Amino acid sequence: MNKIGFIGLGNMGFFMSKNLAENGFLVDGFDLSENALEKMKKTKVDISKTFENVCKNKNVIITMLPNGNAVKSVWNDAIKFINNDTIMLDCSTIDINITQDLHKICKNKSIKSIDAPVSGGTMGAQKGTLTFIVGGSKKIYEEVKPLFDVMGQKSILCGEGGSGQATKLCNNLLLAVTMSGLGESLKLANSFHLNLEKFFEVISTSTGSCWALNNYFPVKNIGPISPADNEFKPGFSSKLMLKDLKLAKKGAEENNLKLDLNNYVISKYEKLIENKKGEFDFSIIIKN
Residues forming the active site: 168
Q: Determine which helix (DSSP H) or strand (DSSP E) holds 273, and give its type and residue range.
A: helix 260-274
Q: Where are the beta strands (DSSP E) in 41-80?
A: 46-47, 60-63
Q: In sequence order, what are the residues at sequence separation of 6 or more whose Cβ sits closer than 8 angstroms to the Cβ of residue 60?
A: 1, 3, 4, 5, 86, 87, 88, 89, 144, 147
CA dist list (Å): 172 to 132, 150, 154, 231 = 14, 23, 17, 22
Spatial distance between the Cα atoms of 214 and 186, rounded to a whole number of angstroms: 14
Closest listed residue to residue 106, CA positions, set 65, 61, 151, 142: 61
